[in-house]
Chains A and B, each alone.
Chain A
Amino acid sequence: EVQLVESGGGLVQPGRSLRLSCTSSGFTFGDYAMSWVRQAPGKGLEWVGLIRSKASGGTTEFAASVKGRFTISRDDSKSIAYLQMNSLKTEDTAVYYCTRGGSYYGHWGQGTLVTVSS
Chain B
Amino acid sequence: EIVLTQSPGTLSLSPGERATLSCRASQSVSSSYLAWYQQKPGLAPRLLMYGASSRATDIPDRFSGSGSGTDFTLTISRLEPEDFAVYYCQQYGSSPWTFGQGTKVEIK
Contact = CB atoms under 8 A, between A and B. Distances in A.
B96 A64 contact: yes
Interface stretch (A16-24, A84-92, A102-110): A102-110
Contacts of A111: 44
Interface stretch (A7-15, A41-49, A70-78): A41-49
A97 interface: yes
Contacts, number: 56
What is the interface residue range for chain B against chain A? 20 to 34
B96 A104 contact: no
Contacts of B57: 106
A32 interface: no
A108 B44 contact: yes
A61 B96 contact: yes
A91 B97 CA distance: 19
Contacts of A104: 33, 35, 47, 50, 90, 92
Contacts of B50: 103-104, 106
What is the interface residue range for chain A against chain B? 20 to 34
Given A104-B92, A106-B56, A47 B99 contact: yes
Contacts of A110: 44
Given A44-B99, A64-B96, A106-B57, A97 B90 contact: no
B93 to A, nearest CB: 9
Interface of A: 37, 44-47, 50, 61-64, 97, 102-106, 108-111
Interface of B: 1, 33, 35, 37, 39, 44-47, 50, 56-57, 88, 90, 92, 95-102
Across the A-B interface, give the 4 residue pairs with the lowest CB-CB distance, nearest first.
A108-B44, A104-B35, A103-B92, A104-B50
10 contacts: A61-B95, A63-B96, A64-B1, A104-B35, A104-B47, A104-B50, A104-B92, A105-B47, A106-B56, A108-B46
